[in-house]
């Protein structure tokens, strides 16, 4: 797994602008990344933070170049970026797809 996080204070971009980027560009680009099992884009509006959680099939897959413009849009590298071992995972009893859920797609 990999977790990245940006503090947006001082950036010229906003969470809303990043939501548009995710909805209009990033989701489709990441849906084509080999070895990526899951990507979750995350935000904390109260603290003005933006980030992502990645679940990879392998360490090798996690080291490939990614189709992301987040650094460009935010104007800096993440404030936090670390990889972790996945200890366990489970899919709950909910039915339905995980793709295209969240605030970026609310009302779409």
Compute the distance between CA of residue 46 and CA of residue 103 in angstroms, rounded to an integer.
15
Q: Kindly state the helix (H) or strand (E) to which residue 44 belongs, with its residue range.
A: strand 36-44
CATH number of the domain located at residue range(s) 2-88+99-105 in this protein: 3.30.70.100
DSSP reduced 3-state for 75? coil
Domain ranges of the chain: 2-88+99-105
pTM to 2 decimal places: 0.88
Low-confidence ranges of the chain (pLDDT < 70): 108
- Beta partners for residue 5, in sequence order: 51, 80
Residues 49-78 pLDDT 10s: 999 999 999 999 999 999 999 999 999 999
Compute the distance between CA of residue 97 and CA of residue 40 in angstroms, rounded to an integer.
14
């Amino acid at each position: 797994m990999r977790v990245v996080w940006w503090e947006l204070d001082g950036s010229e971009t906003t969470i809303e602008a990043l939501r548009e980027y995710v909805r209009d560009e990033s989701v489709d680009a990441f849906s084509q990344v080999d070895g990526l099992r899951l990507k979750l884009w995350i935000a904390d509006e109260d603290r003005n933070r933006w980030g992502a959680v990645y679940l990879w099939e392998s360490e090798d897959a996690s080291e490939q170049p990614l189709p992301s413009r987040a650094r460009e849009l935010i104007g800096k590298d993440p404030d936090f970026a670390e990889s972790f071992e996945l200890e366990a995972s489970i899919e709950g009893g909910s039915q339905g797809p995980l793709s295209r859920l969240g605030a970026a797609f609310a009302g779409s």
